[in-house]
Amino acid sequence: MRNLLFTAYVVLCLAALIWPGYDWLGNRIEPYVLGVPFSLAWVVGWVVLTFVVLLIYHVTGAPSHEAGRFGDSVASEED
């Protein structure tokens, strides 16, 4: 179910970024969003939304049982 929803989002996002989705829905100058034309704001919006969806997908996944197993062999280098 989680994977299905995620796949659906990826398809939707791709459709919104290329023809014809982008041309139909996002490709216009007005309204301006924070001074930026809608055509640019549309693409930025999808980048931001992808970040949010990825974050949700990530935190709802099973906690990685490998996190400890991979990390315990060597001390961390940078923090």
Partner 1 sequence: MPESWVVVAVSLVYLSTCLVLGILPGRKASGTAEGYVAGDRTLGLMLMYFITGATIFSAFAFLGAPGWAYSKGAAAFYILGYGALGFTPFYFLGVRAARVGREYGFVTQAEMVAERFGLRPIAGLMALISVVAFVPYLALQMKGSGYILSSATRGAIPEWAGAALVYTVVMIYVLRSGVLGVGWTNTFQGIFMMILAWGLGLYLPYRLYGGVGPMFEQIAEQKPEMLLAPGLTSSGQPWHWGEYSSAIVVSIVGFSVWPHLFMKAFTARDVATIRRTVVLYPTFQIFLVPLFLIGFAGIFFQPGPERADQILPHMLMNMEIPALLVGLFCAGALAASMSSGDAMAHAAASIAVRDGLVRAGDRRFDPEQERRLIRATVVLIMLLSYGVAVLYQGSLVQLLLSAYGAVVQFAPAVIAALYWRRATGKAVLIGMLAGAAVTVYFILFPGHRFFPIHAGLYGLLANGVLVVALSLSGSAPGPAGDQRFLNVARGDV
Which residues of the shown chain bind partner 1 in the complex (CB under 8 A)?
A: 10, 13-14, 17-20, 22-23, 26-30, 32, 34-37, 39-40, 43-44, 46-48, 50-51, 54-55, 58, 64, 66-67, 69-71, 74-79
Q: Are 38 and 28 in contact (CB under 8 A)?
A: yes
We find the least distance from the C-beta atom of residue 22 to partner 1, in angstroms, to be 6
Question: CA 72, CA 79: separation in Å to the nearest integer?
Answer: 15
Question: CA 20, CA 25: separation in Å to the nearest integer?
Answer: 9
Question: CA 56, CA 65: separation in Å to the nearest integer?
Answer: 19
Nearer to partner 1, 1 or 68 (CB): 68
Nearer to partner 1, 5 or 28 (CB): 28
In this structure, what token pair is assigned to residue 3? 């994977």
We find the least distance from the C-beta atom of residue 26 to partner 1, in angstroms, to be 8
Question: CA 57, CA 2: separation in Å to the nearest integer?
Answer: 7
We find the least distance from the C-beta atom of residue 69 to partner 1, in angstroms, to be 8
